[in-house]
Structure 1
Amino acid sequence: MNERFISIEGIARRYPAPGGGTTTIFEDLWLAVARGEFVCVIGHSGCGKTSVLNILAGLEAPSEGVVVVDGQAIEGPSLDRAVIFQGHALLPWRSVIGNVGYAVSSRWRKASRAEIEERAKRFIDLVGLKGNELKKPAELSGGMRQRVGIARALSIEPKIMLMDEPFSALDALTRGTLQDEVRRICTSTGQTVFMITHDVDEAIYLADKIVLMTNGPQAMIAEVVENPLPKDRARDTIHREGDYYAVRNHLVDFLVARSKTFRDEMPAGYDQRKPPLVRPAGSLPVEPAAPERPVAKTIPFPSVAGGRD
């Protein structure tokens, strides 16, 4: 495994400040992401999470430093890096297959119409939208629109999928369903993902590693948390895993307290070039599984057992 499939090397982002001077959102950020890892970034608003994602996407240039993906420095947008935004960003005049097919045709310009349509249908089916190929975005629910966005991103076979809080505007039930879909797809395909979220439970469920950023301005990466939960974790039983509460309490403690004081109380030996990798453990006792209830013996109604007179 290439431990530096994505290599963020000393990047900074600065903006002109009112009245002159500059505001430093973050500086001297270093981070390595391995091929096939699912990484979530958590931090309060204003720490520059979206700016980091935009730099990875090639939509912004860093004020300093460089980002290298698969051995090549990022110099602008590329079809090797697909972005899924908070909003679905679909073309309203195109159907589901038209939106996905447009991405496919942009990637493979010499592909025939039949090849484009076949590939688009395959990824529409992958996100559970088979039968909705001809519908326009206005005819779809919010969750279905985000599924189209995911299908569009996956259809171009990106090296990296960049996700900017893609489920934040959805209701809880739809959000959970899409999280399950994304986890299933990324686990089965080995997709490398860099995702921004404010949701601690979402990060624990989806991520292999969780990057914690201090408050901005002048934000920094405090540490990288290695998710100790098993790769095959499931939503309905995740709270019973031995280290679940340890990692959750660690993340909440950082967001509530340490994100504000980390710079002033920086641990001895801290090196921004090598953010510490931590693995929370030693949680509260695992919640025992509920005892199985005995199956009640039922007496069938006469009309069911013997037929009606």
Structure 2
Amino acid sequence: MTEKPLISIEALARRYPRHGGGETTVFEDVWLPIAKGEFICLIGHSGCGKTTILNVLAGLDQPSAGVVIVDGREIAGPSLDRAVIFQGHSLLPWMSVMGNVAFAVNSRRPDWSKDRVRAHCQKYIDVVHLTGSEHKKPAELSGGMKQRVGIARALAIEPKMLLMDEPFSALDALTRGSLQDEVRRICTETEQTVFMITHDVDEAMLLADKIVLMTNGPHAKIAEIVENTLPKDRSRTNIHKHANYYALRNHLLDFLVTRSKAFTAESGANGYDPKKPPIVRPGARPVAVETGPPEPGHAVSA
């Protein structure tokens, strides 16, 4: 990364007091630059501190060490520059779709008139395909529609960083797939910077520009950063047809199943530097091309 990152996670650590004395270090020495417009997915086993890192980015938790810099300023608490979409929709049940989105916009733009706020909210309600449902209350909406309201509300405040904590995990497969497509379309069109936690390898491959792999906790670190080698115009219906699909998927699964457990023991021998975790680009192996029968006197490799 040559240009200055929009977000810089530097030497981040989180420790908790241990019963009986001492401390438990969930993660430590986490370094990660995020460029403007990048979609980052963080993957790792339970206990490696994924949600805690997201909460620190949101300003909802304080690190034990290290800092997070956003657009040149250190995070010191929650801010409307950072919007969070949680696993649950977190809507205000007594407000309509329009009311929930407008509540966030009014907080961000207190000087705007009611008409301007309504027009701005309508733009993002339309973006998530909820046109016609503006006056419905959350109790009248399906689970997928509620998450769409949450996405519209987050995008409507036009944050510098969108944080998502497994926002589709509680939805059925069809609804989840539809929302994944919507989020990819919206974030690509708006060049929204996104930091997302997921346990779903296929979801990360579809959405992310880079997939960050965490080692197992305690003392978790970033093991490597995987650049997505699939085409930018990928979709759920064609992602499996690309040559790099299985190479990328197998690399991610191999880390989660095998390499994450052995990483700590092997990192010293590999010259691992947590400040500069390795960047890898898994790709399909080239296919041998038949060029005709071998010339006389030339051996054929097995």
Normalising by the smaller structure, the TM-score range is over 0.9
Rounded Cα–Cα distance in structure 2 between residues aligned with 1:88 and 1:187: 23
Rounded Cα–Cα distance in structure 1 between residues aligned with 2:139 and 2:159: 27
- Map Cα deviations across residues 253-309 of structure 1 (whole Å, 9 max, x no partner): 000011111001115221000011000012597xxxxxxxxxxxxxxxxxxxxxxxx
Rounded Cα–Cα distance in structure 1 between residues aligned with 2:121 and 2:131: 11
Q: Does 1:51 align with 2:52?
A: yes
The one-letter code matched in structure 1 to 2:124 is: F
Rounded Cα–Cα distance in structure 2 between residues aligned with 1:129 and 1:283: 44
Rounded Cα–Cα distance in structure 1 between residues aligned with 2:162 and 2:125: 17
Rounded Cα–Cα distance in structure 1 between residues aligned with 2:218 and 2:204: 23
CA contact (8 A) 1:3 1:35 kept: no
Count of matched residue pairs: 285
Superposition TM-score, scaled by structure 1 size:
0.91
Q: Which residue of 2 aligns with 1:191?
A: 192
Q: Which residue of 2 aligns with 1:272?
A: 274
CA contact (8 A) 1:246 1:284 kept: no
How far off its partner does 1:11 sit?
0.6
Taking structure 1 as reference, are residues 172 and 94 closer, same or farther at Cα in structure 2, changes over 3 Å only?
A: same
Q: Which residue of 1 aligns with 2:206?
A: 205
Listed as ranges, the gaps of 5+ residues in structure 2 are 288-302
Report the 3-state secondary structure (helix = DSSP H, G, I; strand = E; otherwise coil) of the residue aligned with 1:175. helix
Q: Which residue of 2 aligns with 1:86?
A: 87
Q: Which residue of 2 aligns with 1:32?
A: 33
Rounded Cα–Cα distance in structure 2 between residues aligned with 1:171 and 1:212: 26
The one-letter code matched in structure 2 to 1:273 is: K
Q: Which residue of 1 aligns with 2:15?
A: 14
The one-letter code matched in structure 2 to 1:97 is: M
Q: Which residue of 1 aligns with 2:284?
A: 282
Listed as ranges, the gaps of 5+ residues in structure 1 are 286-309
Taking structure 1 as reference, are residues 214 and 117 closer, same or farther at Cα in structure 2, changes over 3 Å only?
A: same
Q: Does 1:115 align with 2:129?
A: no
CA contact (8 A) 1:30 1:272 kept: yes
RMSD across aligned C-alpha pairs, in angstroms? 1.1
Identity of aligned residues (%): 68
Rounded Cα–Cα distance in structure 2 between residues aligned with 1:91 and 1:273: 41
Rounded Cα–Cα distance in structure 2 between residues aligned with 1:112 and 1:263: 56
Q: Does 1:105 align with 2:77?
A: no
Rounded Cα–Cα distance in structure 1 between residues aligned with 2:54 and 2:243: 32
Q: Which residue of 1 aligns with 2:297?
A: none
How far off its partner does 1:47 sit?
0.3
- Map Cα deviations across residues 208-238 of structure 1 (whole Å, 9 max, x no partner): 0000001111101000000001111121111
Rounded Cα–Cα distance in structure 2 between residues aligned with 1:90 and 1:3: 36
Rounded Cα–Cα distance in structure 2 between residues aligned with 1:143 and 1:250: 31
How far off its partner does 1:69 sit?
0.8
Q: Which residue of 1 aligns with 2:133?
A: 132
Q: Which residue of 2 aligns with 1:227?
A: 228
